[in-house]
C-alpha cells in the first residue's frame, strides 16, 4: 500500500504525502510550488482560468493521453500517477510555443488573468489535432477523432468549440479566437515529445498497480486497484464519497462545505475505461465503463446517435467533459442532469458491483427519490448498458437552458416514437426538471399510443402533460414556464419529426 501520491509536473517528479494531498491541484501549484501562472477565479469549473493539461496512461499503458481539465476541481488524490503540464511548462527550448506566440501576435490579452487558461485550452485542441493516435490509432478512429491534415486551416467553429469553458472579462473574444485560428499547428509539438516520456511512463506504470491510502486528521483517501478492494472499503467505512471525474464532488467540496471523512477515487480501477458495441438479438447495445469520460463518449456516439451527441456538445465545456463521466452524471441523481432522460428513454441499464457480485438495475428503477439511489452501501456503478435506437424509431432529445453552453438545464425531455401506417405504435416520453427525479410520463404515452401521427394527437398529449406534472419554481425557471415547456415540447416533436420525414423523402427522390 502506497502512502504518497506520485505526480509529474512539467516533467518533474513530485511525491505528495497526506498533509498536502487533500487540496485541489490549483492550490498545490500556486501555494506549495509557487507556480502562479495557473489562476483561480471561480473555483467551480466555470471559467477555465485554472486549466492545465493532464496526461494519463491510456488503455495500453504505453502512452500518456493529454487533455485539458480544470485544476480547481481536480483534487490531488484524483491525479495520482499522471503528468500535469501547466502554462509554465509549455515553452519549447525557452521559446514561446506557437499557441502562446499567436496570442501575443494577435493581442489576445489585456489584464492577462484568463490568458493561461485560454492558452492551455488551445494547446488541448492543437495536441488533439496533432496527436490523433494518443489513444492508440484504432481506438482513435473508433472514437471518431478527427485527423489534422497538413496545411489545414483551423475554423472559427473548431476554435470556439474548444474555448467554451474559458471566460475573458476584458480582451473581448475576437482577438482570442483570431489567435486560435492563426496558431501554427505545423510547428506545435505534441506534449508527448516535450518531456522524457519513456522515463515518466515507466515510473507511473510501476506505481499505478499499487493501491494508494492517504490518512490525515481522521480523513482517508483511497485509490483501489481492484473492485473487490473498492467494495470492501465501501463496506468498512461510513459515508464514503466515491469520486470519478470530481466535477460534482469537488464543486461541493469547494463551495458547499462537503468534507468527507472517507473518499474513494475510481481512477485506478481496471476494466472500467472500455467502451464497446455489443450485438444482441434485440439490437445493438453500447457498453460504457464507469470511467469513460463524457468526451470519449461524445466521440464514440457522434455517428451512432447524433441526437445525444448534440446534447453532449452543449454539456459543460471540454474541460468538464474530459473529466466528468456518465456514471457520475447518473449517480449525481440530479433531476436536471442531462444524460438521464436519454438513458431512461432508451431503457438503459446500470451495472453495479458489490461484495455479493454484479447486478443490473433498469434506469427506471435506479432513483428512489430526490438524489437517492438504489445502491447498497458496498456497491458502485461499474458500467452502463445503452441500447441504441433502431432505424424505424424517431428520437428527439431536448435541453432547455438560459444559454447554449456551460449552463444547467431548466427542463429536459426525451421522446421516442415508432410510427406504423401513420399510427403511433410505440411511445416513450421522459421529462426532467419537473419533479424530484427524472421520470417517464405514462399518461402522455397513453395519450399517444395507437393514435394517428398528426398534430392534433401531439397537441392533445401536450395538454395531458400539463395536467400530470407538478413542477416547482426555482432560480432556473418558474412553474408556469416549465408547464408551458412540457406542453409545447410535444408539438415541437411533431413538427421536427414531420420535417425529418420530408427531408428523408426528398433524399429518396
Ligand X SMILES: Cc1cc2nc3c(=O)[nH]c(=O)nc-3n(C[C@H](O)[C@H](O)[C@H](O)COP(=O)(O)OP(=O)(O)OC[C@H]3O[C@@H](n4cnc5c(N)ncnc54)[C@H](O)[C@@H]3O)c2cc1C
Residues at the site binding ligand FES, with contacts judged by CB under 6 A:
40-43, 45-50, 70, 72, 109-114, 168-171
- Shortest distance (Å) from residue 46 CB to ligand FES: 5
Question: Site for ligand X (CB under 6 A): which residue of 97, 100, 166, 329?
Answer: 329
From ligand X, ligand FES, none, interface partner of 487 (C-beta below 5 to 8 A by class): none
Q: Does 337 bind ligand X (CB under 6 A)?
A: yes
Residues 6+ away with beta carbon under 8 Å from 408: 336, 401, 476
- Shortest distance (Å) from residue 178 CB to ligand FES: 14
From ligand X, ligand FES, none, interface partner of 114 (C-beta below 5 to 8 A by class): ligand FES
Strand order of the β-sheet with 349-354 is 275-280, 283-289, 380-387, 349-354, 357-362
Among the residue ranges 17-25, 105-113, 185-193, 244-252, the one whose residues contact ligand X (CB under 6 A)? 244-252
* DSSP-assigned letter for residue 173: H
Question: Site for ligand X (CB under 6 A): which residue of 328, 335, 389, 433?
Answer: 328
Closer to ligand FES by Cβ: residue 44 or 310: 44
- Shortest distance (Å) from residue 105 CB to ligand FES: 16
Nearest to residue 328, comparing CAs of 297, 307, 355?
Answer: 297
Burial 441-453 (b: 16+ CB within 10 A, else e): beebbebbbebeb
- Shortest distance (Å) from residue 39 CB to ligand FES: 7
Question: Site for ligand X (CB under 6 A): which residue of 84, 331, 386, 400?
Answer: 331
Q: Does 430 bind ligand X (CB under 6 A)?
A: no
Question: Site for ligand X (CB under 6 A): which residue of 114, 262, 327, 394?
Answer: 327
Contact 51/117 with Cβ under 8 angstroms?
yes
Residue 276: CB atoms within 10 A of its CB come to 11
From ligand FES, ligand X, none, interface partner of 429 (C-beta below 5 to 8 A by class): none
Nearest to residue 75, comparing CAs of 239, 254, 211?
Answer: 254
- Shortest distance (Å) from residue 298 CB to ligand FES: 20
C-alpha cell at 7: 505526480
- Torsion, Cα 413 417 422 423, to 10 degrees, reads -100
Residues 6+ away with beta carbon under 8 Å from 149: none
Q: Does 245 bind ligand X (CB under 6 A)?
A: yes
> Cβ-closest residue to ligand X?
328
- Shortest distance (Å) from residue 342 CB to ligand X: 11
Closer to ligand FES by Cβ: residue 73 or 345: 73
From ligand FES, ligand X, none, interface partner of 251 (C-beta below 5 to 8 A by class): ligand X
Residue 175: CB atoms within 10 A of its CB come to 16
Residue 326: CB atoms within 10 A of its CB come to 29
Contact 436/369 with Cβ under 8 angstroms?
yes
> 3-state DSSP: the chain helix, strand, coil percent, rounded to 5?
40, 25, 40
C-alpha cell at 346: 432508451
Among the residue ranges 238-246, 302-310, 445-453, 494-502, the one whose residues contact ligand X (CB under 6 A)? 238-246
* DSSP-assigned letter for residue 2: B
Question: Site for ligand X (CB under 6 A): which residue of 100, 102, 127, 247?
Answer: 247
Residue 508: CB atoms within 10 A of its CB come to 6
Contact 470/480 with Cβ under 8 angstroms?
no
Cα atoms in the 13 Å half-sphere on the side-chain side of 95: 10
From ligand FES, ligand X, none, interface partner of 328 (C-beta below 5 to 8 A by class): ligand X
Q: Does 389 bind ligand X (CB under 6 A)?
A: no
H or E segment to which residue 85 belongs? strand 82-85
Interface mask toward ligand X for 62-91; x: CB under 6 A: ------------------------------
Closer to ligand X by Cβ: residue 323 or 486: 323
Question: Site for ligand X (CB under 6 A): which residue of 266, 353, 457, 497?
Answer: 266
Spatial distance between the Cα atoms of 434 and 471, rounded to a whole number of angstroms: 4
Q: Does 48 bind ligand X (CB under 6 A)?
A: no
Task: Cell 467553429: give the residue.
Answer: 157
C-alpha cell at 371: 438524489
From ligand FES, ligand X, none, interface partner of 111 (C-beta below 5 to 8 A by class): ligand FES
Q: Does 133 bind ligand X (CB under 6 A)?
A: no
Q: Does 221 bind ligand X (CB under 6 A)?
A: no
SS3 453: coil
From ligand X, ligand FES, none, interface partner of 290 (C-beta below 5 to 8 A by class): ligand X
Among the residue ranges 43-51, 84-92, 213-221, 456-464, the one whose residues contact ligand X (CB under 6 A)? 43-51
Question: Site for ligand X (CB under 6 A): which residue of 246, 335, 354, 462?
Answer: 246
From ligand X, ligand FES, none, interface partner of 337 (C-beta below 5 to 8 A by class): ligand X
Residue 132 CA: distances (Å) to CA of 137, 146, 299, 303: 7, 7, 13, 18
Q: Does 289 bind ligand X (CB under 6 A)?
A: no
Contact 232/355 with Cβ under 8 angstroms?
yes
Q: Does 310 bind ligand X (CB under 6 A)?
A: no
Applying CB under 6 A, the residues found at the interface with ligand X are 44-46, 241-249, 251, 266, 290, 315-316, 320, 323-325, 327-329, 331-332, 337-338, 380-381, 406
Amino acid at each position: 500500500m502506497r502512502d504518497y501520491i506520485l505526480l509529474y509536473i512539467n516533467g518533474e517528479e513530485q511525491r505528495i504525502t497526506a498533509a498536502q494531498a487533500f487540496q485541489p491541484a490549483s492550490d498545490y501549484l500556486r501555494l506549495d510550488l509557487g507556480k502562479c501562472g495557473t489562476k483561480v477565479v471561480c473555483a467551480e469549473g466555470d471559467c477555465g482560468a485554472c486549466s492545465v493539461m493532464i496526461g494519463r496512461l491510456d488503455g495500453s499503458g504505453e502512452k500518456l493521453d493529454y487533455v485539458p481539465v480544470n485544476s480547481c476541481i481536480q483534487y490531488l488524490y484524483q491525479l495520482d500517477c499522471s503528468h500535469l503540464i501547466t502554462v509554465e511548462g509549455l515553452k519549447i527550448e525557452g521559446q514561446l510555443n506557437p499557441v502562446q506566440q499567436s496570442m501575443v501576435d494577435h493581442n489576445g490579452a489585456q489584464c492577462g488573468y484568463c490568458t493561461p487558461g485560454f492558452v492551455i485550452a488551445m494547446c488541448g485542441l492543437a495536441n488533439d489535432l496533432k496527436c490523433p493516435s494518443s489513444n492508440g490509432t484504432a481506438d482513435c478512429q473508433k472514437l471518431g477523432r478527427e485527423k489534422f491534415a497538413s496545411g489545414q486551416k483551423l475554423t472559427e467553429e473548431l476554435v470556439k468549440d474548444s474555448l467554451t469553458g474559458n471566460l475573458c472579462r476584458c480582451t473581448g473574444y475576437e482577438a482570442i479566437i483570431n489567435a486560435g485560428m492563426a496558431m501554427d499547428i505545423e510547428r506545435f509539438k505534441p506534449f508527448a515529445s516535450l518531456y522524457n516520456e519513456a522515463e515518466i511512463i515507466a515510473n507511473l506504470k510501476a506505481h499505478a498497480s499499487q493501491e494508494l491510502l492517504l490518512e490525515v486528521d481522521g480523513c482517508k483517501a483511497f485509490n483501489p486497484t481492484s473492485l473487490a478492494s473498492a467494495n470492501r472499503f465501501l463496506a468498512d467505512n461510513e459515508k464514503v464519497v466515491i469520486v470519478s471525474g470530481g466535477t460534482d464532488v469537488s464543486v461541493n467540496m469547494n463551495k458547499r462545505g462537503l468534507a468527507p471523512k472517507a473518499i474513494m477515487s475510481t481512477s485506478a480501477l481496471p476494466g472500467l475505461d472500455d467502451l464497446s458495441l455489443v450485438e444482441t438479438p434485440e439490437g445493438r447495445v453500447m457498453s460504457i465503463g464507469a470511467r469513460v469520460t463524457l468526451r470519449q463518449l461524445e466521440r464514440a456516439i457522434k455517428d451512432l446517435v447524433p441526437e445525444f451527441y448534440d446534447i453532449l456538445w452543449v454539456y459543460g465545456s471540454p474541460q468538464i467533459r474530459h473529466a466528468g463521466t456518465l456514471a457520475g452524471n447518473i449517480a449525481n441523481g440530479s433531476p436536471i442532469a442531462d444524460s438521464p432522460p436519454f438513458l431512461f428513454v432508451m431503457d438503459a441499464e446500470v451495472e453495479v458491483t458489490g461484495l455479493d457480485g454484479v447486478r443490473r438495475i433498469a434506469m427506471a428503477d435506479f432513483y428512489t427519490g430526490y438524489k437517492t439511489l438504489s445502491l447498497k452501501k458496498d456497491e458502485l456503478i461499474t458500467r452502463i448498458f445503452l441500447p441504441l435506437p433502431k432505424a424505424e424509431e424517431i428520437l428527439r432529445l431536448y435541453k432547455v437552458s438560459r444559454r447554449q453552453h456551460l449552463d444547467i438545464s431548466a427542463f429536459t425531455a426525451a421522446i421516442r416514437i415508432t410510427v406504423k401506417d401513420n399510427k403511433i405504435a410505440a411511445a416513450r416520453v421522459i421529462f426532467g426538471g419537473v419533479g424530484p427525479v427524472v421520470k417517464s410520463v405514462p399518461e402522455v404515452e397513453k395519450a399517444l399510443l395507437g393514435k394517428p401521427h398528426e398534430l392534433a394527437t401531439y397537441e392533445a398529449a401536450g395538454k395531458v402533460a400539463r395536467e400530470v406534472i407538478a413542477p416547482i419554481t426555482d432560480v432556473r425557471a418558474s412553474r408556469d414556464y416549465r408547464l408551458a415547456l412540457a406542453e409545447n415540447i410535444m408539438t415541437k416533436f411533431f413538427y421536427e419529426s414531420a420535417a425529418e420525414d420530408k427531408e428523408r423523402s426528398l433524399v429518396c427522390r
